Structure 1
Amino acid sequence: MATSQIARLLSRKSHVLPGQLHVTEMFFEVPENYAQPEAGILKLFGRRVRKHERPIVPLSDSDLTDQEKLPYLVYLEGGPGFGNREPQNHALTQVALRRGYQMLFLDYRGTGLSTPIHADSVRARGDAQQQAKYLKLFRASNIVRDIEAVRLCLLGDMDAHKQAWSIFGQSFGGFVALTYLSKHPSSLREAFLTGGLAPVKRTAEEVYTATFKKLMERNAAYYQKYPDDVSTVRCLAEYIHASPGSAIPLPGGGQLTVQLFLTLGIAFGAHGGLDLVHSLVLRLATDLDQVGHFTPASLAAFESRIPFDAHPIYAILHEAIYNTKRTGAPASNWAAHRVGKTLPPFAWLADPVAVLGGNPASKEPLYFSGEMIYPFHFDGAAGPELARMRDAAELLAATEAWDEDLYDEEQLARNEVPVYAASYVDDLFVDFELARETARLVRGIKVHETNGWYHDAVRSRSDEVFAALFRLRDDCID
């Protein structure tokens, strides 16, 4: 691993926001490739948040210095490929401030306001081989290097015992946290994970074999709750297939195909997700009943649920988050597609026409897919940006030799950093049994397990999640 480097702080501007939030917007500069720092730079954007104080007696210089020394809690967003929400819209902000932290929301490389990934920036790298090589730089290993570089920039001048910070990883952010624990444990004071116990020992194919089982359960629950949608969903699929070219243009430039329509089940992993899908199905069906076609507003509502064209890292590197050199496994090779099309409820992955029309199985419910990414996402259906990066995506899917391991099982086994995790029995995206397997690898971890929350509980059940995690940290076990 390359020697840790210090990020360069380029700028910072502070503002006071409602809720007694003192927010400092910061831009940093880091190497594009830590193994070749002279090759280019990337910019990272972050927001530091402290409680805004208005005391009767003005704060002294020493008081202000003390504020600078408040312990950091760094939020690691899920994804991959998504930037952070504004701090005032994040439930963790006020909880952290009340507990004496200052927060740092750092957009990963390629996301949010950090140097973005888009088709033009990728294609500017050269041919598909060069594009794929560039995209490999946006995996968790370099995300951790970036966070560590920013830590050295912000805390490197402090006393040694104050240079460590805390991290809080949601979903893919938990994967990043485990990589951080593997690579730089001495930089961490504590780690919180929600729905983020990565399947460290498993290949992409093994992961999807497990998550498709949970997906079938959620589809069954959906149709049990909304039995009339069995016929409604099928009617919508028939209408889409009967359209010219078997597709309907979307406002953002994509194409609503039967296959893309049936990826709406990604919502099933969240609280209220069954109801959200039903509402969209109802809206599309109402369009057909009232005006005979899907309206622009309804198509825009659909498109908002499939946002990968605007967040291409999610689609391009989704299966790559499971690829490590350690496994010695073959390339992911579109593992979700390979696993899914062998399952009868997802036969539409192999041939959407076969499950429509007069087929004997045409009375069976059409099952929705989840968070999986498939080759057809890059055929233009999910949007023009992804279509322009298809060749690079194909090369990444075929990659067998990844540069480095994301996790160090030996380091995790001797871990001394306090780790507190929330793990969900009915998690659609991070299989519970595989999460348990990972928890057994991390020395000293404390895990709150529940069948009462889904994957997005950090947003939908935030008060309960934070209370459970901080109980793990603050209480004792007799």
Structure 2
Amino acid sequence: MASYRQPGVVLTDHHFAVPLDHDNPSGERIELYAREVAAARPGGDRLPWLVYLEGGPGNAVRRFTGAQAWLARAVQEYRVLLLDQRGTGRSTPANRQTLPLRGGPAEQAAYLAHFRADAIVRDCENVRRQLTGGAPWTVLGQSFGGFCATHYLSTAPEGLDTVLITGGLPALDAHADDVYRAAYPRIRRKNEAHYARYPQDVERARRIGAHLAEHPAELPDGHRLTPEVFQSLGILLGSGDGSHQLHYLLENAFVRTPAGHELSDAFLAGVRPVLSFAANPLYAVLHEAIYAQGGRPTDWAAERVRAGFPEFDAAGALAGEGPLLFTGETIHPWHFTTDPALRPLRETAELLAARTDWPVLYDTARLAGNTVPVAAAVYHDDMYVDTAHSLATARAVGGLRTWVTDEYEHDGVRASGTRVLDRLIGLARGEV
């Protein structure tokens, strides 16, 4: 294990070998990477463990420099384990470059079926036993990490000392269709708030959308920018400063050239990191699968449900006089034709969308009898996770305490500095 220092903390690299399929522990193994963060003071490396589960799915854990944001609060009382969930970061990767090693689309889909919350929690239990000698630890779950933490409470509560969830209380029995039926009205409200804040963006967005309808653009990496892809910039609207980021992208969209007005290189460079799934392809490939259980396919739920919300149709909006509405974190089949990082995975994604044998993720009886201290921050009108679904789940989990706030958006645990984590720790301990 290699250790090194950053301002105020000591970092240690950990590597763990875990079964690809935990039901076949003697079979193929994959590697997990995790970074331990301890305060650079005497005894910092002897504090209890807290494992952080990042949002996603498919996102590597955030790379901090020193004790930034919530981490500054965490290392006061914990040794923090920043886990790259399977398939992400420095763990055994799963992307367009590596998945062909598995075989064709059918083999790739079968492999990726082992990359949901149930496998991630069993990974955590494998790692916990190696690190703590069997002692329970605290879990902090952001967004999808909260979905994993809820599954953890369902299946292995004996491994948990405390659970802290931020923006990630999932619906326990909703199908993906239900998730997106609840999502589109929230996304519309975020659009309305953005255009009320920046009314000049109504015409800017329509102009960009109309230009792309006539002249689809290609980004330097081969990403094809269509009106629908442009609408995906709405994923920014779910974060605290995302509306402002979107505004600054739109205001610099066009330049005058000898051939007329064209989308500027600066605009195309600015939208690429927002739109590309090159760094986190599993976010797209497995996004709807995180809701799948009970024998029904997801079958491109976001795309099907969107048909019931015609105000999000780009062609219809541009043909009329209303605003062009941005979408949120919805994933559509066309993502797998326009994004070069996803194109080779199109058939694999189709097979996952058709899959019906997903296991149930949450044990409602066990959750009702929960005795592990649990505290959850629920962000009012969170664009990514439905507030009503979250509060219904909060009522279904024994002893869970909530903090419902409209002070932050979905990224509150990061945007608030130490405040959200401090509040959750106090709630779980009964101090507030």
For the aligned pair, the TM-score class normalised by the smaller chain equals over 0.9
Q: Report the equivalent of 1:390.
A: 346
Report matched runs for 1:89-238 at 5 Å: 90-98=68-76, 100-156=77-133, 163-238=135-210
Unaligned runs of 5+ in 1: 1-11, 55-65
| Paired amino acid for 2:29 | I
Residue number among 450, 456, 460 corresponding to 2:405 in the alignment: 450
What is the CA deviation profile of residues 351-384 of structure 1, one whole-angstrom value per residue up to 9, with x for unaligned ones? Answer: x3x443xx3x2x11010000110011001x1x22
Q: Return the alpha-carbon distance in structure 1 between the equivalents of residues 263 and 18 of structure 2.
A: 46
Q: Return the alpha-carbon distance in structure 2 between the equivalents of residues 287 and 111 of structure 1.
A: 41
Say whether residues 1:254 and 2:212 are aligned partners: no
Structure 1 residue 219, shift from structure 2 partner: 0.8
Structure 1 residue 37, shift from structure 2 partner: 3.2
Q: Counterpart of 1:267 in 2: which secondary structure?
A: helix
What is the CA deviation profile of residues 173-196 of structure 1, one whole-angstrom value per residue up to 9, with x for unaligned ones? Answer: 000100111111001000000001
Report the CA distance shift for 1:475/1:36 in structure 2 as closer, same or farther (over 3 A). Answer: closer
Residue number among 385, 394, 401 corresponding to 2:357 in the alignment: 401
Structure 1 residue 475, shift from structure 2 partner: 4.1
What is the CA deviation profile of residues 145-197 of structure 1, one whole-angstrom value per residue up to 9, with x for unaligned ones? Answer: 111111111122xxx6xx11001000000001001111110010000000010
Deviates more, 1:79-88 or 1:266-275: 79-88
Normalising to structure 1: TM-score of the pair? 0.86
What is the CA deviation profile of residues 53-98 of structure 1, one whole-angstrom value per residue up to 9, with x for unaligned ones? Answer: 37xxxxxxxxxxx665420011110011111122436422221122
Structure 1 residue 288, shift from structure 2 partner: 7.6
Q: Return the alpha-carbon distance in structure 2 between the equivalents of residues 458 and 288 of structure 1.
A: 44
Q: Counterpart of 1:305 in 2: which secondary structure?
A: helix
What is the CA deviation profile of residues 292-318 of structure 1, one whole-angstrom value per residue up to 9, with x for unaligned ones? Answer: 322333212101112323211100000
Residue number among 19, 28, 31 corresponding to 2:19 in the alignment: 31
What is the CA deviation profile of residues 215-248 of structure 1, one whole-angstrom value per residue up to 9, with x for unaligned ones? Answer: 11111111112222222111111111222xxx21
Q: Return the alpha-carbon distance in structure 1 between the equivalents of residues 45 and 225 of structure 2.
A: 51
Q: Return the alpha-carbon distance in structure 2 between the equivalents of residues 254 and 223 of structure 1.
A: 27
Structure number with the bigger relative contact order (C-alpha 8 A, sep ≥ 6) is 2
Q: Return the alpha-carbon distance in structure 1 between the equivalents of residues 105 and 44 of structure 2.
A: 48
RMSD across aligned positions (CA)? 1.9
| Paired amino acid for 1:412 | L
Report the CA distance shift for 1:167/1:288 in structure 2 as closer, same or farther (over 3 A). Answer: farther
Report the CA distance shift for 1:464/1:397 in structure 2 as closer, same or farther (over 3 A). Answer: same
Deviates more, 1:417-426 or 1:463-472: 463-472
Q: Report the equivalent of 1:3.
A: none
Q: Counterpart of 1:88 in 2: which secondary structure?
A: coil
Q: Report the equivalent of 1:294.
A: 263
Q: Return the alpha-carbon distance in structure 1 between the equivalents of residues 45 and 34 of structure 2.
A: 16
Give the greater-gyration-radius structure (CA).
1
Unaligned runs of 5+ in 2: none
Structure 1 residue 476, shift from structure 2 partner: 4.5
Say whether residues 1:372 and 2:330 are aligned partners: yes
Q: Counterpart of 1:191 in 2: which secondary structure?
A: strand
Q: Report the equivalent of 2:6.
A: 17
- When the two structures are aligned, how many residues end up with a matched partner? 431
CA contact (8 A) 1:109 1:143 kept: yes
Percent identity between matched residues is: 39
Q: Report the equivalent of 1:340.
A: 306
Normalising to structure 2: TM-score of the pair? 0.95
Q: Return the alpha-carbon distance in structure 2 between the equivalents of residues 129 and 287 of structure 1.
A: 48
Q: Counterpart of 1:16 in 2: which secondary structure?
A: strand
Q: Counterpart of 1:178 in 2: which secondary structure?
A: helix
Q: Report the equivalent of 1:304.
A: 273
Q: Report the equivalent of 1:440.
A: 395
Q: Return the alpha-carbon distance in structure 2 between the equivalents of residues 417 and 291 of structure 1.
A: 63
Say whether residues 1:264 and 2:242 are aligned partners: no
Report the CA distance shift for 1:422/1:286 in structure 2 as closer, same or farther (over 3 A). Answer: farther
Structure 1 residue 34, shift from structure 2 partner: 1.6
Q: Return the alpha-carbon distance in structure 2 between the equivalents of residues 347 and 71 of structure 1.
A: 51
Q: Counterpart of 1:37 in 2: which secondary structure?
A: coil
